[in-house]
Amino acid sequence: MEVQDPQGYVRNTGPGFSLGLFGHGDLDKSRICDHDKTIREKLLAYPWVKTLLRVGVNGESEFDMAPQRRLAYEADFKLKAINHAKQHGNRDAAREFNINESVVRKWRQQEDDLCLAEKTKKSFHGHKARWPRLEDRLERWISEQRAAGRSFSTIAVRIQAKAIANEMGIEDFKAGPSWCFHFMKRQQLSICTRTKVSQRLLADYEEKLAMFRSYCKSKIAEKNIQAKHIINMDKVPLTFDVLLIQSVEQTRAPMVPVHTTGNKKSLFTVVLSGSLDGQKLSPMVIFKRKTFPKDKFPDGIVVAVNPKG
């Protein structure tokens, strides 16, 4: 039975459980006395009480509440809840960490995976391997290729996966791009660019660049040189050993070395030029030999050789 005192507080005067302890409407705005407030806080510690209040006695909502937002907990938090549950039980851990008891049971089933995961990992979402033995063999093949310094693309990975599937007698395996993407994600693989050591700029390069520009401007004005006679040239050494600059490698690998076929020092030079008025000159290819090669080159390319070989 519920009565209302002169101050407007709702009191529970009868025995048993009554919704009068919680008033009507929002719980935080309910006007109840301090005595009933203590009882309310104790009852709200039980999840089934909150559920009963939401549903109501006749199946109707007793008061409107905003939809609860699903929370994602980190692996470190889950392991703390698991350790507490081992010592004091699942129900006590649920009250201590303000979670549902079923969540504690689920986390205890995932304890082995949580111990191996990063502390900040929140979930184990992702596609599970349909052919784990095939992926294990493919992962070993990738490790062997990278240990030998060989570079390869995802197409080579798919071809090798298809070959392994044929050896294992797997007929419904297609080795498509989507499977390759999820396989690399499961094995923590990614496409990495070949690392190399580059030259560092000088500390005073900006000052020297400004001096060079002023020198060029003074000479152009002094000699009255036209724009079509001012040419910018750049030579690029190329190798006959064409290397892949990217390869499949472990994610966040500090170095991505790539072995060559041994012809890395067999070079030829390509010269690209352009005049100040915007005209592009024909590219020039210079071979490190005394005689001209017998191969036929495309039109519009200037071929030259080095007299010194």
Give 23 or 258, the one with higher predicted confidence: 258
Token pair 């519920």: residue = 2
Rounded to whole angstroms, the Cα distance separating 72 from 123 reads 7
Q: Is the pLDDT of residue 60 over 80?
A: no
Token pair 């919704």: residue = 19
Considering only CA atoms, which of 300, 307, 298, 303 is closest in space to residue 284? 303
Percent of the chain at pLDDT > 70 equals: 72
Least confident of 238-247, 249-258, 277-286: 238-247
Q: Is the pLDDT of residue 127 over 50?
A: yes
Q: Give the residue-averaged pLDDT of 158-170.
A: 92
Q: What is the pLDDT of residues 36-51, one digit of tens each?
A: 566 767 677 776 666 6
